[in-house]
């Protein structure tokens, strides 16, 4: 393991005594920026890429690498009630019968893929996200899984994961999902403080989550993740420290800690949040510092942007070995795979293309029920996009860029292609965020906390003034 790739023990101890995020560094680096679950980011996709382009990408895959394993993503958009911080694509309804038509559409969409890709393509990873996947009943989940298993061939050790809303799950449901083959869970916790939960309209008790966690362990789920959010209304450093303690007491394998981005003009539910209740910038920094400090002291490794994992977890091991990857769900141990995404608004990646389905349910239904893919926009990556994607993912995942490797793979001279970016790296090196050596760039322990800022320097779309305005802030 390369010591500079993660905060060392000495560094994490030092954080307890000194501010983790010095004000002068924050003033320069806490700006808006993408999270790089893809590069180029989804806001660069355009309507000039449509159904025919997607079909062609699938056909090229079939001709070129038909036996390569796929990743699958299934989006379930329905939620019983709205959380006020929500920025997801969802449909709020208590009418569970609305799931029936959606499952029919998913079945048809699966069938469309089989026609282009052939039957029995191997699958190494499947993720159910939302919305609320556990909005579906046991029978509905069972039907969906049966359709997927008929169409694809799941590898014996495939990772099959689902996002679980603790308000719609019971230990019995977890047992049923385990029987269906799910082996990974992600619980949406966000915050355990009842006042914060009331302010964001998402109430779930610590005791209920603890009971689910105990069941997940007893049922042999291989990995359990918990999602948390800092920056929510009424959060204080004391209240959030209690949540962190409670989370640590449950010992999830992985923790995702997201920053709340208050963008009420873009996300309607956020208009119900009382802005006066939002923590100020100093408190936000305190919340994040306390969380990082608490997790590092209790046996968790900092994986990278937003993510922590037990030192024994596969993600932490992959990080130490320099084998980490990043996809639309965040960090992953799985190598980059083509990703077939099913459902409204779902984003997939086939070869050197990205594509996104229609975001409006009726438009998604109209396409699928007419026998067409529902792709609404996308992007065919240019040669420059491809090299920048590799550099950005190397930074985000390994914290290191080997210039010689990039040159050999893309037929360019790194210093010429990235002359402007290397000047920016020299500035970041002065701030202690990166080490710039002959032939390589390495992110330092401190730099990992600002890894987005390092990656942004290589983003070919962010050079125009104001081009990052629509993203969330780094801290």
* Closest distance to ligand SF4 from the beta carbon of 133 (Å): 10
* Closest distance to ligand SF4 from the beta carbon of 131 (Å): 5
Question: For ligand SF4, which is the closer residue by CB, 147 or 235?
Answer: 235
Question: For ligand SF4, which is the closer residue by CB, 132 or 235?
Answer: 132
Is 282 buried (19+), middle (13-18) or exposed (0-12) by CB count in 10 A? exposed
Instruction: Give, rounded to a whole angstrom, the gap between the first and last alpha carbons of the chain.
Output: 27
* Closest distance to ligand SF4 from the beta carbon of 53 (Å): 29
Rama region for 118: left / alpha / beta (φ>0; ψ in -120 to 50; rest): left
Question: For ligand SF4, which is the closer residue by CB, 83 or 247?
Answer: 83
* Closest distance to ligand SF4 from the beta carbon of 93 (Å): 11
The closest of 205, 184, 451, 170 to 333, measured between CA atoms, is 184
Question: For ligand SF4, which is the closer residue by CB, 212 or 462?
Answer: 212
Question: For ligand SF4, which is the closer residue by CB, 192 or 302?
Answer: 192
* Closest distance to ligand SF4 from the beta carbon of 81 (Å): 7
Is 10 buried (19+), middle (13-18) or exposed (0-12) by CB count in 10 A? exposed
Which residues bind to ligand SF4, rule: CB under 6 A? 79, 82-83, 86, 88, 90, 130-132, 165
Question: For ligand SF4, which is the closer residue by CB, 154 or 258?
Answer: 258
* Closest distance to ligand SF4 from the beta carbon of 191 (Å): 12
Question: For ligand SF4, which is the closer residue by CB, 33 or 131?
Answer: 131
Question: For ligand SF4, which is the closer residue by CB, 90 or 113?
Answer: 90
* Closest distance to ligand SF4 from the beta carbon of 149 (Å): 26
* Closest distance to ligand SF4 from the beta carbon of 321 (Å): 33
* Closest distance to ligand SF4 from the beta carbon of 91 (Å): 9
* Closest distance to ligand SF4 from the beta carbon of 190 (Å): 8
Q: How far apart are CA 331 and CA 304, in angstroms?
A: 8
Question: For ligand SF4, which is the closer residue by CB, 147 or 357?
Answer: 357
């Amino acid at each position: 393991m390369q010591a500079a790739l993660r905060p060392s023990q000495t560094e994490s101890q030092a954080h307890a005594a000194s501010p983790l995020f010095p004000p002068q560094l924050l003033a320069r680096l806490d700006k808006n920026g993408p999270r790089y679950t893809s590069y180029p980011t989804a806001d660069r996709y355009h309507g000039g890429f449509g159904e025919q382009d997607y079909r062609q990408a699938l056909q090229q895959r079939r001709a070129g690498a038909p036996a390569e394993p796929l990743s699958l993503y299934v989006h379930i958009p329905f939620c019983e009630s709205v959380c006020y911080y929500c920025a997801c694509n969802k449909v709020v309804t208590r009418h569970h019968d609305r799931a029936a038509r959606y499952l029919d559409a998913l079945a048809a969409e699966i069938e469309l893929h089989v026609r282009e890709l052939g039957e029995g393509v191997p699958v190494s990873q499947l993720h159910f996200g939302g919305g609320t996947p556990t909005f579906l009943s046991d029978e509905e989940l069972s039907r969906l899984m049966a359709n997927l298993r008929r169409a694809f061939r799941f590898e014996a050790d495939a990772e099959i994961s689902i996002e679980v809303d603790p308000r719609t799950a019971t230990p019995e449901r977890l047992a049923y999902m385990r029987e269906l083959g799910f082996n990974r869970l992600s619980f949406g916790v966000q915050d355990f403080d009842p006042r914060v939960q009331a302010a964001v309209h998402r109430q779930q008790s610590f005791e209920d989550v603890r009971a689910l966690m105990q069941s997940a362990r007893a049922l042999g789920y291989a990995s359990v993740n918990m999602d948390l959010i800092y920056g929510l209304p009424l959060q204080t450093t004391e209240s959030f420290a209690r949540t962190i303690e409670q989370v640590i007491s449950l010992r999830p394998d992985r923790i995702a800690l997201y920053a709340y981005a208050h963008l009420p003009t873009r996300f309607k539910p956020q208009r119900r949040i009382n802005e006066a209740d939002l923590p100020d910038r100093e408190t936000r920094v305190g919340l994040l510092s306390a969380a990082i400090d608490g997790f590092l002291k209790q046996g968790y490794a900092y994986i990278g942007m937003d993510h922590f994992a037990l030192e024994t977890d596969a993600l932490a091991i992959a990080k130490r070995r320099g084998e980490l990857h990043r996809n639309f769900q965040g960090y992953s141990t799985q190598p980059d795979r083509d990703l077939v995404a099913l459902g409204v608004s779902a984003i997939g990646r086939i070869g050197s293309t990205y594509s996104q389905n229609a975001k409006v349910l009726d438009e998604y239904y109209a396409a699928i029920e007419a026998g067409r893919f529902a792709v609404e926009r996308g992007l065919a990556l240019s040669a420059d996009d491809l090299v920048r994607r590799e550099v950005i993912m190397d930074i985000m995942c390994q914290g290191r860029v080997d210039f010689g490797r990039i040159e050999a793979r893309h037929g360019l001279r790194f210093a010429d292609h990235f002359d402007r970016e290397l000047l920016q790296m020299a500035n970041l090196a002065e701030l202690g965020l990166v080490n710039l050596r002959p032939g390589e760039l390495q992110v330092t322990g401190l730099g990992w906390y600002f890894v987005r800022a390092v990656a942004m320097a290589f983003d070919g779309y962010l050079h125009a003034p104001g081009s990052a305005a629509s993203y969330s802030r780094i801290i």
